């Protein structure tokens, strides 16, 4: 294979984005310049990336970035690749509190930082803290920050002992440890994905501990699996009020918002 058209005809998965990445050409340029001959270096780089992609490495780990909401985020194998479903949490949080009102926000299990960084970028008046127990993920999140954010390492609420927040958000691990869906996710960190037999181990800890870290009337906002909403509402109902449920843009149950009593 020597020119762009040869590669486009190859049927390789993600070939157009891989070509765009290596040649720094837009999709339109790939079509209009389809007889462009790749240099030996370009060919070598592209062939190495095709091999990685064919071996199952997700495109975002090859490119090192993933778009989320209005920003591009660095991602590495230490971080989950941001999912579009998680944009729902941003929409809910932005609707919840007036833009110019100060807010103490905590994003737990921040991963690449998408929730904390996006909301801090949109709301310069908010004071944002982000935690993760993975040092590798926190390094990536720090590099993605566009504003001042406090990053702390530790398990769930342990790093913020004695602190309270107006809004706590988390997209925690919530996949059942035996779920066959995991067979397709072998390159992402397993500890970012699974949470015990029923997928609720981390959510139970968060729901139990969050009330001690919320200001009066403060909110907890959680992403969850499509079949977990009823069980999470039941867990929340012991200590929370005004429980609201949300579906994602594929009409699947995906998030809960609750206010502390
Ligand atoms: C599903 S990923 C979400 C990452 C990111 N917030 C996002 O939405 O893309 C869950 C994150 O929780 C972190 N995590 C897992 N167990 C944790 C724990 N016990 N304490 C804090 N963070 C944890 C993982 O390292 C991972 O970054």
pLDDT tens sequence across 103-122: 999 999 999 999 999 999 99
Instruction: Check pocket membership of 137 for ligand 1, CB cut-off 6 A.
Output: yes
pLDDT-based confidence at residue 217 (cuts at 50, 70, 90): very high
CB 35 within 8 A of CB 9: no
Burial class (CB in 10 A: 0-12, 13-18, 19+), 240: buried
> What does the pLDDT average to over 189-207?
94
Ligand 1, atom 19, lies closest to the CA of 155
151 Cα to the center of ligand 1, angstroms: 13
Chain-wide mean pLDDT for the chain?
A: 96
pLDDT-based confidence at residue 20 (cuts at 50, 70, 90): very high
Residues of the chain with CATH 3.40.50.150: 63-260
pLDDT tens sequence across 83-93: 999 999 999 99
The pLDDT value recorded for residue 37 is: 97
- From the centroid of its chain, how far is CA 131? 13
Distance from C-alpha of 117 to C-alpha of 142, rounded to nearest angstrom: 9
Which residues are bridge partners to 150 per DSSP? 129
pTM, 2 dp: 0.95
Residue 99 in this model has a pLDDT that exceeds 80: no
Distance from C-alpha of 20 to C-alpha of 254, rounded to nearest angstrom: 33
Q: What is the dihedral of CA 246, 176, 218, 251, to 10 degrees?
A: -10
Residue 101 in this model has a pLDDT that exceeds 90: no
The verdict on domain 63-260 having CATH code 3.30.1330.40 is: no
Distance from C-alpha of 108 to C-alpha of 149, rounded to nearest angstrom: 13
Tokens of 86: 């998680």
Q: What is the dihedral of CA 45, 48, 53, 59, to 10 degrees?
A: -30
6 Cα to the center of ligand 1, angstroms: 41
pLDDT-based confidence at residue 227 (cuts at 50, 70, 90): very high
> What does the pLDDT average to over 43-56?
96
Listed residue (190, 30, 162, 180) closest to 106, CA to CA: 162
pLDDT-based confidence at residue 58 (cuts at 50, 70, 90): very high
Percent of the residues in the chain that have a pLDDT greater than 90, as a whole number:
91
Length of the chain: 261
The pLDDT value recorded for residue 106 is: 98
> What does the pLDDT average to over 41-46?
97
pLDDT-based confidence at residue 226 (cuts at 50, 70, 90): very high
90 Cα to the center of ligand 1, angstroms: 16
């Amino acid at each position: 294979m020597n020119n762009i058209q040869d590669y486009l005809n190859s049927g390789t998965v993600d070939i157009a984005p891989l070509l765009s990445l290596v040649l720094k050409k837009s999709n339109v340029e790939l079509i209009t310049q389809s007889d462009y001959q790749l240099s030996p270096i370009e060919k070598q780089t592209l062939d190495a990336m095709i091999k990685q992609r064919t071996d199952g490495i997700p495109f975002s780990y090859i490119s090192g970035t993933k778009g989320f909401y209005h920003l591009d985020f660095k991602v590495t194998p230490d971080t989950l690749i941001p999912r579009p479903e998680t944009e729902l949490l941003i929409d809910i949080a932005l609707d919840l509190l007036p833009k110019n009102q100060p807010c103490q926000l905590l994003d737990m299990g921040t991963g690449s930082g998408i929730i904390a960084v996006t909301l801090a970028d949109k709301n310069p008046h908010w004071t944002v803290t982000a935690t993760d127990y993975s040092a590798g993920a926190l390094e990536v999140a720090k590099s993605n920050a566009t504003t001042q954010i406090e990053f702390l390492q530790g398990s769930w609420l342990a790093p913020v002992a004695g602190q309270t927040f107006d809004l706590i958000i988390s997209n925690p691990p919530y996949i059942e440890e035996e779920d066959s869906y995991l067979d397709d996710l072998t390159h992402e960190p397993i500890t970012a994905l699974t949470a015990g037999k029923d997928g609720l181990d981390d959510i139970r800890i968060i729901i139990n501990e969050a009330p001690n870290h919320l200001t009066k009337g403060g909110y907890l906002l959680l992403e969850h699996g499509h079949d977990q909403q009823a069980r999470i509402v039941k867990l929340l109902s012991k200590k929370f009020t005004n429980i609201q449920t949300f579906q994602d843009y594929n009409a699947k149950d995906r998030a809960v918002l609750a206010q502390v009593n």
